[in-house]
Amino acid sequence: MNALWISLALLTAGFVGWPVTSLVFRLARTIDDRTLDGQSIDGSAGAAAPEARPGADEDPSADSTTDPEIPAATEASAGAAPQGTDQATQDRAAQDQAAASNQDEAADSNRDEAVDSVSSARILRGGAIIGVLERFAVCLAILAGQPVAIAYVVAIKGLGRFAELKATPVAAERFIIGTLTSMLWAAGVAALTKVLIFG
């Protein structure tokens, strides 16, 4: 009977821990995205928070760091030229407006590429399988009364990911969040099983 409960605890720790860890990652990403909305990519204060921008929750394109209002000087050059200006002045004004528009589009494109690169750098390959094995090992170590074995699990996992973690700080953050969530879940399941089954 105890073997059945231990197997059930291992399966719960290993496989139910995956959606729990995924939920914590989603929560962390939501917090990161809110932080990105409040700052420009280079870290300086940028656009206002989504709550402060009118219509930001209805319009996805409202997530821009440029000011949507056109200054008065640009309005004059965009509309009909004032009387007494020659064709060359009108052409220069149109070229200036087109160049400003292209710069805004390039800035938005660069921001989107930077956000995409951050998103792709967040994913550590093989993390789901490693997480399941890690939770099995932690749960088994606690049920066997050898919690010191958890240090070996952390050391093996950290050494295996060292190059990735050193190269990208975002990967290091994801590693820490995932490892702590995973281990806390497995330790909690093992401790509960130990208390309920073994007294």
**pLDDT value at residue 111:** 54
Q: What pLDDT sits at residue 95? A: 76
Here the tokens at position 28 are 């962390």
Give pTM, 2 decimals.
Answer: 0.56
In order, the DSSP letters of the chain are -HHHHHHHHHHIIIIIHHHHHHHHHHHHHHHHHHHHHHB-TTSSB-SPPTTTSTTTTT-GGG--SS--SPPHHHHHHHSPPPTT--HHHHHHHHHHHHHHHHHHHHHHHHHHHHHHHHHHHTPPTTHHHHHHHHHHHHHHHHHTT-TTHHHHHHHHHHHHTHHHHHH-HHHHHHHHHHHHHHHHHHHHHHHHHHHHHH-
pLDDT at 104: 62
pLDDT at residue 78 in the model: 45
Give per-10-residue mean pLDDT for the chain (199 aa). 89 93 90 75 47 41 40 45 62 74 61 48 72 95 94 92 84 89 96 89
- Res 50: pLDDT: 42
pLDDT tens track for 139-168: 999 999 999 999 999 999 989 888 888 888
Q: With the C-alpha atoms ordered 122, 126, 132, 136, is the resulting torsion angle positive or negative?
A: negative
pLDDT for residue 124:
66
- Cβ contacts of 157 within 8 Å, gap of 6 or more: 130, 134, 179
Q: What is the predicted pLDDT for the residue at 108?
A: 57
